[in-house]
Chains A and B, each alone.
Chain A
Amino acid sequence: MAYALNLHDIQGNVTRAYGRFSFPFARYFFFQIRHPAAGRAFVDAVRREVTTSARWPDEADKPNCTVNIAFTFMGLYWLEVPNRTLQGMPDVFISGMRSRASMLGDRDPTITADDDPDWDRDWDPIWQGNRKEGLGGSEDVHILVTLNAQPDLAGAEPGSQDFLARLKNPHPDLEAKTDWLRSLTSDGIVLLERNGKAGDAPFQSASAVFDDFGGVTLPTAREHFGFTDGIGDPVFKGQYPPAQEKTAVIGRGKRMGGDWEALETGEFILGHTGESQELPPTAMPPEFMQNGTFMAYRKLHENVASFQSVVDEEAQGFATSMAIDEPQARETLLAKMCGRWSDGVPLAVVPDYDEWIAFGKARGWRNENGSMLMTPDAWRKQIAYIRSAEASDFRYADDMAGFKCPGGAHMRRMNTRDYLDPLNAFGIDPETGKQFENAGATHALNKRRRILRRGLPYGPPNFEPRDDASEQGVIMMAMGVDLFRQFEFVQQQWIQYGLDFHQGNNTCPMLGRHDHHTRHMIPSDPKSGKPPYMMTKLKTFVECRGGDYFFVPSMIALRMIAMGIVDPT
């Protein structure tokens, strides 16, 4: 029997990445409670508008603008959630993200905090004061409210020119909801209007990166480095209707020797059985955590100019070493850093440059010369492909040496799939002369580290010039029941360290810190006669600009918080 969830009780951003559901615009608001009763009144007003996971259109109407809410630990404290409940919260959530900076790689791990007291100098002002020692909590962030808006379609016929032309503007409800949120503030609950690098923005805005497709401005699935993002999010039991789950799990669930299966709900939503076949720990009363989850909110700045210049420079060396031309070297290098080609086609499936160009031509998003077709039709085909099961259906255990997708590539670190099965055979199978197939490899060491990725890019539309100093990046929202076991583990062990992938101290070529370790190894199949290539000039391309850990309660828990009747006895 299919696993049934009380979708009306779960906040909508847990089960849905809104960006995939035609909500390309977002605003993130941060509030501080000055008086507990005012805070509870605010929660009570907001919870009535919160978008749940109820399915559209059968169980609820699809909103023009979604509303979701989450709390830091200090927020729950200021809402007067009882001490006994607070004590039951996980310790990393209680500590908050700032105190975990060294371990997360958000500050230089080779310098102690005493020697670099100003390590958060690049953080946005709103985050610099949050949970900072000596401020007595006066600048703490307590509540996050997120709004995600559809485009202003005004009933245009889907697919029509009018429809496409309208995709670039958010629905007016986004502005209306912004006004409504402001109207809920008072002396007792204030909106922290210190967002952005300058610290003067009333909220953090975000949106898909847009591009020009034959005169029409359309949202892409790309981030500011140019990679296609947000493809392989995990799929868990009860997230999709049974019929849809069958295809959704392909490449996005887990393999335990057989077919793809959905992950256990309890990895992502509290109060349900997890992959350990146990219930996750809970604070009292159990209803407080049931159907809720935790979220790491991080503003990740992208140093676009550094990235482009390093890739250009390395591409020259790569072109010489591989005896290929520079455009091919550049694209291949990007793919070997990421694990996917820039249009989202996985290296594990299409490892060769010529095959990749042919693939795009056959699918209708590349022209005869092999360059991207910038037409609405090509845009539609490309989006359809990355939404398909095909774009996620691949494994790594048949490529243990990383000849196709390097072991240290970004994607292979983020979601290791069947690569870490300890029984995998490494090397060349003497019978076939190829790498071992490891057909029965499982996701056993991977399935407890998965995270849901929510959030959107922020910054200017694609066609505006950018450099390291301009504001662009990704608002990363990583969700899971255990920040320590899931988000922090991936961030520390897989992004900022490489031992699980036989990469020594080499960090993720895209997300990792590169102030001390600047290398990324690209293996080469010895049969090709080409040497391996070591990138040696990496810089830190992605920098955290702040954030914190949030609890995303269920609708029942929100109501209990608002009424002030969380009863742990």
Chain B
Amino acid sequence: MPDLDSGHLFLTYLIPIKRGGPRNDVSFKQKVRIELARLPPAHQTPATQKTAYAAPFARNLRNHFARMFVLDNVVYNGRNRQNALVATVKKVNTITPEPVDGLRSAYLVFTADIDAIVKDGDPLPSELSADAQRRVRMAYAQTLWETMGEEIKAIFGNCHGFDGTDSGQAFGAYLERCHVETTMPYHDYYLNLPAFNDLPLKGLIVAVGVPAVIGVGALLLRLFGMSFLLGMNTLVLGLLGVALTCLAFVLAVRFAIANGAKPLPPAAHDDLPTVLKALYIQQRFTDFIAEHQGAAPATLHAAFGDFLAQHAPADITHPTQRPGVISDRAPQPRAGV
């Protein structure tokens, strides 16, 4: 399940936007765009720091990254290219237009990287069954509904099949119908690289190659008139070898795919609350160094004791940096919806 990697879910949802628009109004597509444009951004620049509210995704402690955008249609890349000689032989007439593929409606694309947990404070998991992943997604949808339900209704209200959704549970069920597998997760928190799921290529080559060599060898011997080898029928041996080769090949391919789909284990300290705490401690500890360099050992010892008491590095909940701000010194969003 490529959605799960390193203890995080990399989510992709494709939500169809209603076609057309309400009577005497702009299109549903434009209404989605308007609602997205109205979302407050994170407090990361002097201009955005003036907004009263931070990005709604900063109202929970699951999101590492979230993005919403409108996908109008798929890009048409022109005619399918092919070898000119082949096309000539096949008598392809390039004057005749090829069919152009398109989407039946625009889509709202919603992607998010989240901690794969059901409730705040859970440890990041290494493995999750398909059903457990579904529970994580449902819990995430519930969290979003509780923290940014208003925005969700405003945006998703223009989407196909959303009408009547009135609870976190129903929103989760709606999102489930729009869920597509993420095929390329991206993770950037590694302190130390994990043990990657390397493919045992040599072993697989041996597993497929040995029966292949025996099978083909035996058939060749049969061809040259040698019916028995060490008391075995070379024809039977050859066919057996070929059959084993095919079986080994199929198993090897399935193994390779399964190996590629295996998630990597969570890296140390990379759930969102820990990352935020790390950012906080990093800033405060740099200040501490700047203020105390050159201090006498006893002073330093006492000061560091105060530092530990004040900033509690072991407590990831408090004091810490809030999500959606560039540092805990920057202007913070006012409390609000």
The answer to whether B46 touches A112, judged by C-beta atoms less than 8 angstroms apart, is yes
Interface residues of A in 92-129 (CB under 8 A from B): 109-112, 115
Contact of A534 (CB < 8 Å), options: B47, B50, B290: B290
**Given A109-B46, A112-B47: A536 and B294 interface contact (C-beta under 8 Å):** no
Q: How far is the CB of B46 from chain A (nearest CB, A)?
A: 5
B68: interface (CB < 8 Å): no
**0/1 per residue, A320-332, Cβ < 8 Å to B?**
1100000000000
The answer to whether A534 touches B46, judged by C-beta atoms less than 8 angstroms apart, is no
A531: interface (CB < 8 Å): yes
A317: interface (CB < 8 Å): yes
Give complex CA distance A321, B300 in Å: 14
Residues in B with CB closer than 8 Å to A536 are 290
The answer to whether A519 touches B46, judged by C-beta atoms less than 8 angstroms apart, is no
B289: interface (CB < 8 Å): yes
Residue of B nearest to A534 (CB): B290
Give complex CA distance A519, B286 in Å: 10
A533: interface (CB < 8 Å): yes
Give complex CA distance A111, B290 in Å: 26
Residues in B with CB closer than 8 Å to A111 are 46
B293: interface (CB < 8 Å): yes
The answer to whether B290 touches A110, judged by C-beta atoms less than 8 angstroms apart, is no
Q: How far is the CB of B27 from chain A (nearest CB, A)?
A: 32
Give complex CA distance A317, B293 in Å: 9
Residue of A nearest to B48 (CB): A112
The answer to whether A321 touches B46, judged by C-beta atoms less than 8 angstroms apart, is no
Residues in A with CB closer than 8 Å to B290 are 519, 534, 536
Residues in A with CB closer than 8 Å to B286 are 504, 519
Residue of A nearest to B330 (CB): A110
Give complex CA distance A109, B294 in Å: 32
Q: How far is the CB of A226 from chain B (nearest CB, A)?
A: 26
Interface residues of A in 505-552 (CB under 8 A from B): 519, 531, 533-534, 536
The answer to whether A321 touches B294, judged by C-beta atoms less than 8 angstroms apart, is yes
Q: How far is the CB of A45 from chain B (nearest CB, A)?
A: 47
Give complex CA distance A317, B50 in Å: 39
Q: How far is the CB of B49 from chain A (nearest CB, A)?
A: 9
Interface residues of B in 259-309 (CB under 8 A from A): 286, 289-290, 293-294
The answer to whether A317 touches B294, judged by C-beta atoms less than 8 angstroms apart, is yes
The answer to whether A110 touches B293, judged by C-beta atoms less than 8 angstroms apart, is no
Residues in B with CB closer than 8 Å to A110 are 46
The answer to whether B294 touches A320, judged by C-beta atoms less than 8 angstroms apart, is yes
The answer to whether B293 touches A531, judged by C-beta atoms less than 8 angstroms apart, is yes
Residues in B with CB closer than 8 Å to A533 are 293
Residues in B with CB closer than 8 Å to A519 are 286, 290
Instruction: Indicate the size class of the contact surface on chain A.
Output: 10 to 19
Q: How far is the CB of B102 from chain A (nearest CB, A)?
A: 33
Majority DSSP secondary structure for residues of A touching B: loop
Residue of A nearest to B289 (CB): A534
**0/1 per residue, B68-101, Cβ < 8 Å to A?**
0000000000000000000000000000000000
Residues in B with CB closer than 8 Å to A109 are 46
Contact of B293 (CB < 8 Å), options: A112, A321, A504: A321
Interface residues of A in 109-160 (CB under 8 A from B): 109-112, 115
Residue of B nearest to A102 (CB): B46
Residues in A with CB closer than 8 Å to B289 are 534
Residues in A with CB closer than 8 Å to B294 are 317, 320-321, 531
Residues in B with CB closer than 8 Å to A531 are 293-294
Q: How far is the CB of B50 from chain A (nearest CB, A)?
A: 8
Residues in A with CB closer than 8 Å to B50 are 112
Residue of B nearest to A518 (CB): B290
Give complex CA distance A111, B50 in Å: 11
Q: How far is the CB of A519 from chain B (nearest CB, A)?
A: 6
Interface residues of B in 49-68 (CB under 8 A from A): 50
Q: How far is the CB of B225 from chain A (nearest CB, A)?
A: 58
Best-buried of A110, A317, A321, A533 by chain B (most CB within 10 Å): A110
Q: How far is the CB of B307 from chain A (nearest CB, A)?
A: 16
Best-buried of B47, B289, B293 by chain A (most CB within 10 Å): B293
Give complex CA distance A362, B289 in Å: 40
Residue of A nearest to B283 (CB): A504
Q: How far is the CB of A323 from chain B (nearest CB, A)?
A: 11
Interface residues of A in 280-330 (CB under 8 A from B): 317, 320-321
Q: How far is the CB of A495 from chain B (nearest CB, A)?
A: 19
Residues in B with CB closer than 8 Å to A320 are 294
Q: How far is the CB of A438 from chain B (nearest CB, A)?
A: 20
Give complex CA distance A115, B46 in Å: 10
Give complex CA distance A111, B330 in Å: 12
Give complex CA distance A120, B293 in Å: 37
Give complex CA distance A483, B334 in Å: 40
Give complex CA distance A110, B331 in Å: 11
Q: How far is the CB of B136 from chain A (nearest CB, A)?
A: 33
Q: How far is the CB of B292 from chain A (nearest CB, A)?
A: 10
Q: How far is the CB of A359 from chain B (nearest CB, A)?
A: 29
Residue of B nearest to A320 (CB): B294
Residue of B nearest to A505 (CB): B327
Q: How far is the CB of A255 from chain B (nearest CB, A)?
A: 29
Give complex CA distance A112, B51 in Å: 13
Q: How far is the CB of B321 from chain A (nearest CB, A)?
A: 15
Q: How far is the CB of A12 from chain B (nearest CB, A)?
A: 43
**0/1 per residue, B9-51, Cβ < 8 Å to A?**
0000000000000000000000000000000000000110010
Give complex CA distance A531, B292 in Å: 12
Give complex CA distance A519, B291 in Å: 12
Residues in A with CB closer than 8 Å to B47 are 112
Give complex CA distance A109, B47 in Å: 10
Give complex CA distance A107, B170 in Å: 50
Q: How far is the CB of B76 from chain A (nearest CB, A)?
A: 26
Q: How far is the CB of A314 from chain B (nearest CB, A)?
A: 11
Residue of B nearest to A536 (CB): B290
Residue of A nearest to B47 (CB): A112
Q: How far is the CB of B42 from chain A (nearest CB, A)?
A: 16
Give complex CA distance A112, B289 in Å: 31
Give complex CA distance A27, B290 in Å: 44
Q: How far is the CB of A539 from chain B (nearest CB, A)?
A: 15
Q: How far is the CB of A61 from chain B (nearest CB, A)?
A: 55
Give complex CA distance A112, B50 in Å: 10
Give complex CA distance A112, B294 in Å: 38
Q: How far is the CB of B124 from chain A (nearest CB, A)?
A: 26
Give complex CA distance A190, B77 in Å: 53
Give complex CA distance A102, B290 in Å: 28
Give complex CA distance A317, B292 in Å: 11
Give complex CA distance A59, B202 in Å: 66
Q: How far is the CB of B193 from chain A (nearest CB, A)?
A: 14
Give complex CA distance A321, B296 in Å: 11
Q: How far is the CB of A400 from chain B (nearest CB, A)?
A: 18
Residues in B with CB closer than 8 Å to A317 are 293-294
Give complex CA distance A317, B46 in Å: 34
Q: How far is the CB of A397 from chain B (nearest CB, A)?
A: 22
Q: How far is the CB of B69 from chain A (nearest CB, A)?
A: 24
Give complex CA distance A317, B47 in Å: 38
* B interface with A by C-beta (< 8 Å): 46-47, 50, 286, 289-290, 293-294
**Which 3 pairs show the lowest CB-CB distances between chains A and B?**
A536-B290, A321-B294, A112-B46
Could you name 22 residue pairs across A and B whose Cβ atoms are closer than 8 Å?
A: A109-B46, A110-B46, A111-B46, A112-B46, A112-B47, A112-B50, A115-B46, A317-B293, A317-B294, A320-B294, A321-B293, A321-B294, A504-B286, A519-B286, A519-B290, A531-B293, A531-B294, A533-B293, A534-B289, A534-B290, A534-B293, A536-B290
**Other than the known A115-B46, A504-B286, A519-B290, what 9 A-B pairs have Cβ atoms closer than 8 Å?**
A110-B46, A111-B46, A112-B47, A317-B294, A519-B286, A531-B293, A531-B294, A534-B290, A536-B290
